[in-house]
Each structure stands twice: as structure tokens, then as C-alpha cells.
Structure 1
């Protein structure tokens, strides 16, 4: 798909084609559609991010909570499966699996939402390090960090969809 084609999609078709970019949250694409046309991938991404930033905090929290735990074996969107596989989170040793589950539980207990990290290009070690480093953060900072990571994930997914780097 290319940007010119995306600019000409109806709202329904746009949501169908891009609604998955923000994990299980097609409302983001629906809101961003109103800002078309876009001259670049960055402009499209900015519109999507702006839709999230303008949403009520409850909708933002629901978006964060729509993401799966890293390294989990739960059902998740295909894009998440691929991204986690790229970081080696699909091939954890039993000890690594227990460690990531312990970190996931501690994080969710502390913040009320899953740990979010754009894992593309990261190793398992980098993922574990990020989890451990962010666990002591204040809740407000983690909420904003989770959204920033979601924006990065969406940027990667858009680039893939449009065949761009």
C-alpha cells in the first residue's frame, strides 16, 4: 500500500487497513482519518499520535492495556508476535521466561498496565534491562513512557505497511 492510496480511502476502509497499527484500538485510525491528506509517513504518524494525545486519559489507558505482556504466551496481534520474535522473546529459556513473567507482574502491580517497549532492534538483554530500569519510575512518567513507546511501535508498523524504512 502507498500513501496516495491511503489518502483516498474511505473512513471505513482506512480503519480496516490501519486500525491494527495501534494494538486493538481502531479508534485511533478513525480519529486520524479526519486529518487527511498526508504528504508523508511522518505526517500520517503525527496525525495518529495526535489522535491519541487528544483522547481522554481513560482511552489512552485502554490503549496501553490493549498491549500484551512482553514474552507472554498469550494470544496477541500478529504484529506483536513478529515484533517480540525479532527480539528473541519467543525463544526464552525457562529461567528467562520466569524472570520476564516476574518483571511483568511487578510492573503491572505497580502501574496498572503492562510494560510497553518498542522491541524492534533490541535484544533480550536490552528488554530485561529496560524493564528493570523503568520499574522504580513514578507512575506519571511510566504512563507517558508507555505512550511514547506505543508511538514508536506504530511508526515501525506504518513503515512496514508503506514499505518504507
Structure 2
């Protein structure tokens, strides 16, 4: 992670600010770009408080269109999915998934994850999203199984709340 102990967020230029916050929401730098545009509406100290930044970013996402939210959900990789196998996860996703032991799956577990990912995706139209930091493989599988019967709106809302949890973990990891 990038550390800027001597630089406060309010002192960063636009490119550095967006680069710092671009990965908080997976492959969705538009959230960081809108946060930068809101910067002028707040006192400069505002952006030195991670909780305020988290609230602001969450607000940007919550006020976006359903289409934008769907694109945000679809920007996430499957858990123990093809991106993980091909080594093309973002650094944040890679550390989250390996922290949950998803990089240690047996062939059988991997096949089951791929099957669950496919079933979930074909039912809901976006990947299964879970803030897996601190979770075990078993808890993740239980999450799949308990959420699969949900209706689309329930699962869309749940996926969005998981996305916000992931963002909160990622912001905490920036620890400016």
C-alpha cells in the first residue's frame, strides 16, 4: 500500500488524489473522480478524516444510477474464480482472497467455487460479492449457499452493502 505519512489528502493534486482512492471501489475510479470534484465544497481538513472520506465515497455510490451500480458490481472478480487463477486480480482483491485462504483451494473446492460462481452469475447477472477479509473458505461457501435463493433486489442490495464493506476495509488499509 502507498503511505504518505507527511502528506495529507487535502494537499494532494488531482492525479495523486484520484490514484490514491481509485482502488477503494474495484475498477471504479469514477468514485474517486467525483470525490475530487466534491473537494471544493468541503474545508480542506475534511479530507484528512478517513471516516468522512468513506461517508462521502459511499454517498457518491449510493446516489449513482442503478446502471452505474450494476457496472460497479460487475467490476468485481469472482471469488476463487478465473481472474484469480490467471493471476489478473487487482492487488487489493488478491490480498483479500488469499487472506481468506481462497488461493489454497483443492481442485474439488475450486470446481465447486467455479460452479457456484456460474450459478450465481446466471441467476443475478453480477458476481457473488462478499467482503472476505477475516472470513474462512467455509464461511464464504455458506454465504453463497444462503444467498443463492434470494430475489434479485435483495441480492443487489446485499451485494452493494458488501461492496461498501470492502471499500471500508480498503480505506482503512490506506492508513494515511
TM-score bucket (shorter structure): over 0.9
**SS of residue in 1 equivalent to 2:8:** helix
Number of residue pairs the alignment of both structures matches: 163
Structure 1, unaligned runs of 5 or more: none
Number of the residue aligned with 1:80: 93
Deviation at 1:39, TM superposition (A): 5.2
Which residue in the other structure is 1:19 paired with? 22
More displaced 10-residue stretch of structure 1: 118-127 or 12-21: 12-21
Output the CA distance in 1 between the equivalents of 2:161 and 2:13.
Answer: 28
Rg larger in 1 or in 2? Answer: 2
Task: Tell me how large the CA RMSD over aligned residues is.
Answer: 1.5
1:97 corresponds to: 110
Matched, 1:49 2:62: no
Whole-Å Cα distance in 2 between the matches of residues 106 and 47 of structure 1? 34
With structure 1 as the length reference, what TM-score do the two structures score?
A: 0.93
- Determine if contact 1:3/1:41 at 8 Å carries over to the other structure: no
Change over 3 Å in CA distance of 1:3–1:38 after alignment to 2: farther
Structure 1 residues 129 and 99 mapped into 2: Cα distance closer, same or farther (>3 Å)? Answer: same
Residue 131 (structure 1) aligned with residue 140 (structure 2) = no
Q: Which residue of 1 aligns with 2:37?
A: 34
Q: Name the counterpart of 2:10.
A: 7
Q: Name whichever of 53-62 and 9-18 sits farther off.
A: 9-18
SS at 1:59's partner residue? helix
**Runs (5+) with no aligned partner, structure 2:** 40-45
Larger helix fraction of residues: 2
SS at match of 1:55: coil
> Deviation of residue 10 (structure 1)?
2.4
RCO (CA 8 Å, sep 6+): is it higher in 1 or 2? 2
2:135 to 118, 122, 140: 122
State the TM-score, normalized to the length of structure 2.
Answer: 0.87
Structure 1's consecutive aligned runs of 4 or more residues displaced over 3 angstroms after TM superposition are: none
SS of equivalent to 1:133: helix
Q: Aligned-pair distance for 1:38?
A: 3.0
